[in-house]
Amino acid sequence: MLLFLLTSAALAQTHYFPPQAFCDAGETEHCERWYVPHLVAMKEPSLWETSKKQSNETYRFLWLRTFHHPVAARLEIRADRSGELFVKVLSGAGGYEPGHLIRNQSHKIDKQLVDIFLKLLDQADFWTATTEQEQTDVVNLDGAQWIMEGTKDGQYHVVDRWSPKEGPYRKAALFLAIDIGGLNPRYSDVY
């Protein structure tokens, strides 16, 4: 009950996504009820609100796998193009309750790794990609939400995909979380 009250209070004060970021108000409300409690449990900042006050360049990959620990990898890029990466993992599961922090680490990232990540994002057309994938006739069950947010020069963008199996968006997200983030999931846990 206390977690619910704290999460509700945090939701009332902080908005993590723009209104109607996920196509329509109903979808945005659904995504906020799902995504935001994980971000709050991780004590992650709202990149959308930050983008309105600062022109920093920051990217965050939120990985909500149905049956595995929620993960966030946030890269803050400095003026010299180096960065700092914050990696957080919760004890819960992405499709259920968030749980509590079981990993909270940060480390410096050199310019070369930042450049590789930014090139992968460019290949994914991150800044022009639609927030959501086009709807198909397929019903998605037991997979993962891959939410990538970015802020740059006062702009904010979010891209949300369901269990991408290939492509530059997947490569960029995994590069952030695994290659430079140091996560070491089993092959079967990457979905």
* 179 found inside a domain: yes
Rounded to two decimals, what is the model's pTM? 0.88
Provide the domain count of the chain.
Answer: 1
* 100 found inside a domain: yes
* 190 found inside a domain: no
pLDDT tens digits, one per residue of 167-182: 999 999 999 999 999 9
Range of the domain at 22: 2-184
Q: What is the CATH number of the domain that holds 93?
A: 3.30.1560
pLDDT tens digits, one per residue of 36-85: 999 999 999 999 999 999 889 999 999 999 999 999 999 999 999 999 99
DSSP 46: -
Q: What is the DSSP string of 100-114?
A: -EEEEEEEEE-HHHH
* 191 found inside a domain: no
